[in-house]
């Protein structure tokens, strides 16, 4: 092989090697782009809740007693039934009338005394369940709670007594995680001796039947309303000690940089950004940011 052929082969090999290296570098550059999703910043306010306890109470209870001594001839309800004002609950007769009606069925229950529901509500206790039983005058027949008089008794530590104001809103969370909005309506003039908590009553508006003496969770906002930058919680990154926080901001359609931030209130879904200030057009990585370096190539989904 002459010298000229050797030179040509060397040049060809060099060009082939260079082309392969360039192709490999281009492939690496393509595969190095992180696949991410992005979100924009919004303006708003995140509440700063304290978690309190409370219980359900019914202030208006009607106790129905036997108006006479006699026999129960009809029971139209069962414990737990929902009744309306004027519904017939019981019928009863004096012993003399009861015996007379038993002997002569054509009297059509002559002398029957009817007992009606005094208000809309629900029967929480029913002491008379059977017919043809005798009851003395004044015997407890049932207890009716007014369905529109349900209150939540909230126990507020005295350190937060400034939050115990008529009209303040709170969020009631039932044991099944149902959330109901409550409004403080009355502050009781007493404090629990052991826990040193104020007792505040809250009105709630719900069609859901809620039994009495049920323990509930109460979320009360102790912060002041303000306008703040808000990002999804997924945008926020932090170190192992949770001392430093940062987000990944896009500076163009394929590059993201790390920006250190100062945060305020947080919820499960969102976080308030205090500093720095961003534009409502800025984009931030909300999915795929974990583990990314300070400056990185990205591909927005």
CA distance 301 to 299: 6
pLDDT at 99: 86
Report the DSSP pairing between strands 245-250 and 237-238. Answer: antiparallel
pLDDT at 133: 92
pLDDT at 194: 85
For the chain, give the number of residues: 301
From 50, 71, 22, select the one nearest 218 (Cα to Cα): 50
Q: Which residues contact 34 (CB under 8 A, 6 or more apart)?
A: 288, 292, 296, 297, 298, 299
Task: Provide the b/e sequence for 120-158 (b: ≥16 CB within 10 Å).
Answer: bbbbeebebeeeeeebeeebebbbbbbbeebbbbbbbee
Q: Summarize pLDDT for 178-229 with one digit per residue, the tens.
A: 999 999 999 998 888 888 899 999 999 888 888 889 999 999 998 877 889 9
CB 58 within 8 A of CB 120: no
CA distance 215 to 226: 32
The domains found in the chain, sorted by start residue, are: 33-46+226-300 (2.40.420.20), 49-58+149-221 (2.40.30.170), 62-146 (2.40.50.100)
User: How many other CB atoms are found less than 10 A from the CB of residue 272?
Assistant: 20
Q: How far is CA 203 from the centre of its chain?
A: 16
pLDDT at 81: 92
CB 173 within 8 A of CB 216: yes
Q: Which two tokens mark 177?
A: 């995680």
pLDDT at 109: 67
pLDDT at 42: 94
CA distance 72 to 24: 96
Does the pTM of the predicted model rise above 0.75? no
Which residues of the chain, if any, have pLDDT below 50?
29-30
Using DSSP, state whether 2 is helix, strand or coil: coil
pLDDT at 29: 47
């Amino acid at each position: 092989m002459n010298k000229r052929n050797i030179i040509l082969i060397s040049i060809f090999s060099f060009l082939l090697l260079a082309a392969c290296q360039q192709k490999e570098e281009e492939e690496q550059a393509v595969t190095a782009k992180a696949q991410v999703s992005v979100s924009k910043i919004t303006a708003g306010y995140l509440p700063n809740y304290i978690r309190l306890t409370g219980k359900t109470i019914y202030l208006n209870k009607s106790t129905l007693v036997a108006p006479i001594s006699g026999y129960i001839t009809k029971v139209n309800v069962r414990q737990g039934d929902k009744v309306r004002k004027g519904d017939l609950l019981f019928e009863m007769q004096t012993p003399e009338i009861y015996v007379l009606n038993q002997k002569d069925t054509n009297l059509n229950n002559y002398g029957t005394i009817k007992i009606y529901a005094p208000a809309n509500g629900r029967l929480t206790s029913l002491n008379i369940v059977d017919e043809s039983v005798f009851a003395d005058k004044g015997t407890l027949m049932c207890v009716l709670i007014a369905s529109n008089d349900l209150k939540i008794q909230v126990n507020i530590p005295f350190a937060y007594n400034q939050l115990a104001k008529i009209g303040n809103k709170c969020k009631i969370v039932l044991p099944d995680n149902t959330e109901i909005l409550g409004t403080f309506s009355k502050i009781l003039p007493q404090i629990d001796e052991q826990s040193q908590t104020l007792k505040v009553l809250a009105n709630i508006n719900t069609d859901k039947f809620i039994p009495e003496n049920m323990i509930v969770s109460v979320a009360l906002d102790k912060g002041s309303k303000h306008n703040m930058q808000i990002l999804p919680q997924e945008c926020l990154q932090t170190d192992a000690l949770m001392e430093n926080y940062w987000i990944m901001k896009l500076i163009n359609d394929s590059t993201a940089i790390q920006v250190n931030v100062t945060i305020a209130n947080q919820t499960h879904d969102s976080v308030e950004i205090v500093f720095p200030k961003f534009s409502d057009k800025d984009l931030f990585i909300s999915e795929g940011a974990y583990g990314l370096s300070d400056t990185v190539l990205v591909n927005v989904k």
